[in-house]
Amino acid sequence: MQDFDCENAESGNMENSVKKLDMLVVGAGFSGIYQLYKAREAGLSVRVLEAGDGVGGTWFWNRYPGARCDVESLDYSYSFCRELEEEWQWSERYAPQAEILKYMEHVVDRFALKDGIQLNARVSRAVFNDDRLLWTVSTESGEVFECTYLVMATGGLSIPQRPQLKGLDDFKGRWYHSAQWPKDGVDFTGQRVALIGTGSSGVQMVPIIAEQAAKLTVFQRTANFSVPAHNVPFTEKALAAAKARYPDRRAMGREAITGQFLNANTKTAAEMTEEEQRAELEYRWKGAGGGFRMLRTFADQMSNLETNKMVADFARNRIRSVVKDSAKADLLCPKDDLPFGGKRLCVDSRYYETFNLEHVDIVDAAAHPVIEATAHGLRTDQCEYKVDAIVFATGFDAMSGALKAIDIRGSCGKSLREKWEHGPTSYLGLSIAGFPNMFVVAGPGSPSVLSNMVHSIETHVDWIMRLLTQARATGVQRIEATQAAEDGWVQRCEDEANKTLYPRANSWYMGANIAGKPRVFMAFVSGVPLYRRIIEDVASNNYQGFEMA
């Protein structure tokens, strides 16, 4: 099958005609770009539909001040091409948003992928035809495509949680959401700014907005743990040394639980002396460690409450040692009922230090919820805060949101929204019973958000392509996870999660950040290496759990 004539399509000449492809990919983030590359390599006609007017996914939309990756860039980057690794020069240990976006644009150019990506094309509906074994996919602007395979590369954190705040339309200042930040940036110089939300986005923004604003008031509903990034610029020498060991680094990453090497301690806390425990905690908090290394301080940290509390207490002590005002420090210390790492750990640069500035304040939005926006600011149940700008860092309808945003109809018209009414279900986090020939990259039920996303994305895309290559070679036209396989996988994910402390936290991993969203732990918690072995076994066993016809 030939790729359609995109020149005609874009000029509108084919507006009402149906474009036919082997594969359609939804989303041009890390997943969609790599899926396009691999599908083309396999000789498929393929097109990526992207809602934005540029590629990059997360890194296209999240342009808020201070946005940067909190997985080290040497790991949070494609590993499929050694030359790409060699030629790209990361400027910092944790690259800022603009640099990651530039990297992704470079990948698109370098591998000549641009003509396979259609921008400003938001997919609204996808319907499977059981007789013709095709997906019909429509965009909001009315374009229609038919494809044999549909790959949802829609991302786990791509549907922002819009603020449901009474009176927002009457607010006379400007308001922003972290994930829909203006391309030209925002200058807060001299302004009074309110910031709602203290997850990763809020924590990254606070120090930068504080540099500009005359007054910054942070409305915190739940204090989460944040650890220092110890971000540093790369010297030429350091980068060259790291690159000389790149294959080893990648290999160690593949065998690490999150798909990035964090020098995990293999001992439980009980197997160490107090002195050793202390040294381990210090090492991970300080420059040699930092960031997510704190999640790997003890082998039983996410399964043993006592061990977890040791890490949590250590972090709370660090917060108190930085924040001079004890009332602010009290508020910033996460409460005892939140396990360390139970909500996604934040990684910051000078977050806690920023609260020592006189013009930066914190409001307990759990005790005194924001009730409404007024013409001149925000009102809690206590008082009105007059501000010039409001920043919402209130997160996303995570994991399932992007898929439910599209009206997806599988075999016999089955609706994904209805199927997922009680929470997302899948087989292996990449296939859904009742939705043949559709694949989800890093979907609910895979390690995805608990891992180095780029590694997980490459794993999924490679696996999908291996399956499709075999299917095409053997004349298989319909690939579908069985309901029994899906049920078994959902149960396994739940059982694995219940062995850990994760379900104790009201996190977005659990759907707890969205009112009315079912509480289901949405990721495979037991790590990238085990997960990869499971899906490799499935492939070796003739794709056990799939019906192939």
Count of chain residues binding ligand N01 (CB under 6 A): 26
* Closer to ligand N01 by Cβ: residue 367 or 375: 367
Question: Which of 65, 116, 199, 253 is in the footprint of ligand N01 by CB under 6 A?
Answer: 199
Q: Which of residues 457-516 bind ligand N01 (CB under 6 A)?
A: 508, 513
Q: How many CB atoms lie within 10 A of CB 41?
A: 11
Tokens of 351: 């977050």
Under rule CB under 6 A, residue 339 binds ligand N01: no
Dihedral sign from CA coordinates of 246, 248, 254, 258: negative
Check residue 342 for interaction with ligand N01 (CB under 6 A). Answer: no
Q: How far apart are CA 92 and CA 147, in angstroms?
A: 41
User: By the 8 A CB rule, do 230 and 290 touch?
Assistant: yes
Q: Which is nearer to ligand N01, 191 or 452 (CB)?
A: 452
Nearer to ligand N01, 370 or 493 (CB): 370
Determine if 97 is a binding residue for ligand N01 (CB under 6 A): no
Q: Is residue 221 part of the contact set for ligand N01 (CB under 6 A)?
A: yes
Nearest CA to 56 among 105, 89, 17, 91? 105
How near is the Cβ of 390 to ligand N01 at its closest, in Å?
A: 11
Q: Are 378 and 370 in contact (CB under 8 A)?
A: yes
User: Judged by CB under 6 A, does residue 253 bind ligand N01?
Assistant: no
The residues, any chain, with a CB within 8 Å of residue 528's CB and separated by 6 or more, are 254, 256, 257, 258, 259, 447, 451, 452, 455, 456, 459
Binding mask 57-86 for ligand N01 (x = CB under 6 A): -----------xxx----------------
Q: With contacts defined by CB under 6 A, name the span among 26-34, 190-198, 286-294, 495-503 that binds ligand N01.
A: 190-198
- In whole angstroms, how close is the CB of 453 to ligand N01 at the nearest point? 8
- Nearest alpha carbon to residue 448 among 537, 347, 525, 529: 525
Nearer to ligand N01, 473 or 515 (CB): 515
Asked if 202 is part of the footprint of ligand N01 (rule: CB under 6 A), the reply reads yes
353 in helix, strand or coil?
helix
CA-nearest of 375, 398, 397 to 388 is 375
Give the shortest CB-97-to-ligand N01 separation in angstroms. 9
The contact mask relative to ligand N01 for 359-398 (x = CB under 6 A, - = no) is: ------x----x----------------------xxxx--
Rounded to 5 degrees, φ, ψ at 219 are -100, 110
Phi, psi of 176 (to 5 degrees): -140, 150
CA 95, 98, 103, 108 dihedral sign is: positive
Of the candidate spans 199-207, 311-319, 409-417, 487-495, the one that interacts with ligand N01 by CB under 6 A turns out to be: 199-207
**Interaction site with ligand N01 (CB under 6 A):** 68-70, 157, 178, 196-202, 204, 219, 221-222, 344, 365, 370, 393-396, 449, 508, 513
